[in-house]
Every structure is written in C-alpha cells, then in structure tokens.
Amino acid sequence: MNQTNDNASLEMPENTNPRVALITGASQRLGAATSKELHQHGYNIIIHYNQSLTSAQELVNSFNQKRENSAHAIQADLNDAKSVTNLAESALGLYGKINVLVNNASSFYPTPMGSGTDKDWENLFGSNSKAPFFLSQHLTETLKANQGCIINMVDIHAARPIKDHTIYCMAKSSLVTLTKSLAKELAPQVRVNGVAPGAILWPENITEAEKEKILRQIPLERIGSAKDIAKTILFLVQADYITGQIIAVDGGRSL
C-alpha cells in the first residue's frame, strides 16, 4: 500500500498547490514584468489594476493559456479604503491563500511647494503608503499561515529626494519605514523587504536633456530594465534568511 502511494506521489504533477502572488498595479511596466517572472516560476498570479483593464485582461489570458486557472485580475482604486478591503478579501477568496504580496502600484508626479493639495497628499500617500499598510494588515493571517513574504516597491529617492516631489518622496520614505517595521512585527513567519529602483523605465514627459543628465549619474552608464527589477523581486521571494532589507537596483546611482 505504501509502495503504491509513494509511486502515485512521484507521478503527480510537480506543482499541485502553487504558491499565490498578489501584485498591485501589475497590468503594465514593472508590475507586469514581475507577474511574468513569478508566473514563469510556478506562481498563480493575482493582478491588481485600477484603470488598465485591457492590459490586465491580456496578461491574465496569456498566463491562463500557459497554465489553466493560474491568473486572475481584480480592479481596485487604492485611494479608497473600502476598495482596498475588497481587494484583499477577493484576492484571498480566489485560491484560499496568499504567499506573496508585492506592493507595486504607485502614483508619481511633482507637487512643487505652493501647489500641493489635500488631494495630492491622499493620492500620493494612498497608493504609495496607506494601501500597502492596509493590504499587509488584511493579509497578515494568510501570509503568516503560509510563511509568506511582502515586497514593497520603494524608490532610491525615498532617501535622496527629487526636487519638487516632496509628497511622493515622503510617501516612499514612509514605505521604507513600513518595510522595516513590519519585518520586525511579522517575524518570524513573514519576511518583509523592499526594492528601490533607480532609473528603470522613463516616466512620461521626460525630456532628452533630463535623460542625459540622469545617465551621467549612473556608474553603470545605462538605465535598468523591468527584468532587472523582476529578478530582484524573485530573489527576495526566495531568500529565506533576508528580512527588513531594501535593495537598490539602480546601476550604482545612489552611490
């Protein structure tokens, strides 16, 4: 009998209970690259999006063509507390667990002194700081039960602010603190780390002169790729003895 059971287990498909990753703002750019990397490594993927429905659906379809029922998309405005709760509950309901939470969604724009409003504060802190805290809190139980991890997407400019972006840099710097604080509080079951990209994908409306100025500050003399970020996130997901760390992926720019 034991013999039969052993043989049966040997013949079972390799991944019968895949680990599940919820990635916010994952329909395009760095979030989409991260989804692809984790999906390739056997994860079921829950893509959160806000406005980019079409790209989210295309990504989900491409994943499900590769492995049936391996991806879903959920819409939520992360500035809305109820939507954040619904996102966490719906995500948990899909596969009954979450192993990895990647807080990637972010709004980013300048707020020069004199122009900042309450709405800017709520918008920039909502996606970059408040939603990561509440999503982490909503999902703590499942993350603990599954020895999971949280990866927060911060920014090298949390430590060295970009001119005219005070509210954004404040929000990212509070995300750094959240990362370190939760690493203590949720240990030993849940690891919490951050990735701080430098120049990876150019923001919209950047001029050629601004690009050249940034490139001159990067020792590796090039911008990074979305794959560089995705590979670092995969590394942190698999790095069982690392918690509370922020890894800069910036070609040396922060030096």
Ligand X SMILES: NC(=O)c1ccc[n+]([C@@H]2O[C@H](COP(=O)([O-])OP(=O)(O)OC[C@H]3O[C@@H](n4cnc5c(N)ncnc54)[C@H](OP(=O)(O)O)[C@@H]3O)[C@@H](O)[C@H]2O)c1
Binders of ligand X in range 157-216 (CB under 6 A): 197, 199-201
Minimum Å distance from CB 11 to ligand X? 41
The answer to whether 242 contacts ligand X (rule: CB under 6 A) is: no
Q: Cα separations (Å) of 81 from 78, 87, 127?
A: 7, 10, 11
How far apart are CB 8 and ligand X at their closest, in Å?
43
- Rounded CA-CA distance 35/135 in Å is 18
Query: Does the protein bind ligand X through residue 142 (CB under 6 A)?
Result: no
88 binds ligand X (CB under 6 A): no
> 104 or 136: whose CB is closer to ligand X?
104
Q: Among candidates 233, 118, 240, which has minimal Cα distance to 188? A: 240
**CB–CB of 87/96 below 8 Å?**
no
Q: Which is nearer to ligand X, 30 or 167 (CB)?
A: 30
| H/E segment holding residue 197 | strand 191-197
The residue among 128, 113, 140, 138 whose CA lies nearest residue 174 is 128
List for the chain the helix, strand, coil content (%; round to 5).
50, 15, 40
CB of 188 to ligand X, least distance (A): 27
Assess contact for 25 and 49: CB atoms under 8 A. Answer: yes
Rounded Cα distance between 49 and 55, Å, is 9
Stretch that binds ligand X, among 8-16, 27-35, 133-141, 208-216 (CB under 6 A): 27-35
Amino acid residing at 187: A
Residue 61 in contact with ligand X, rule: CB under 6 A: no
| Assigned token pair, 74 | 């959920």
Per CB under 6 A, the list member of 44, 70, 79, 193 interacting with ligand X is 79
Catalytic residue among 43, 49, 168, 241: 168
Q: Which residue is nearest to ligand X (CB)?
A: 25
User: Is 127 near ligand X (CB under 6 A)?
Assistant: yes
Cα–Cα nearest to 109, from 185, 165, 44: 165
Q: In terms of DSSP bridges, do strands 191-197 and 149-153 run parallel, antiparallel, or are they unpaired?
A: parallel
Q: Is 126 in the site for ligand X (CB under 6 A)?
A: yes
Total residues contacting ligand X by CB under 6 A comes to 26
- CB-nearer residue toward ligand X: 107 or 173: 107
Residues 220-239 that bind ligand X (CB under 6 A): none
Q: Is residue 168 flagged as an active site residue?
A: yes
Give the interface with ligand X as residue ranges (CB under 6 A).
25, 27-31, 49-52, 77-79, 104-108, 126-127, 153, 155, 197, 199-201
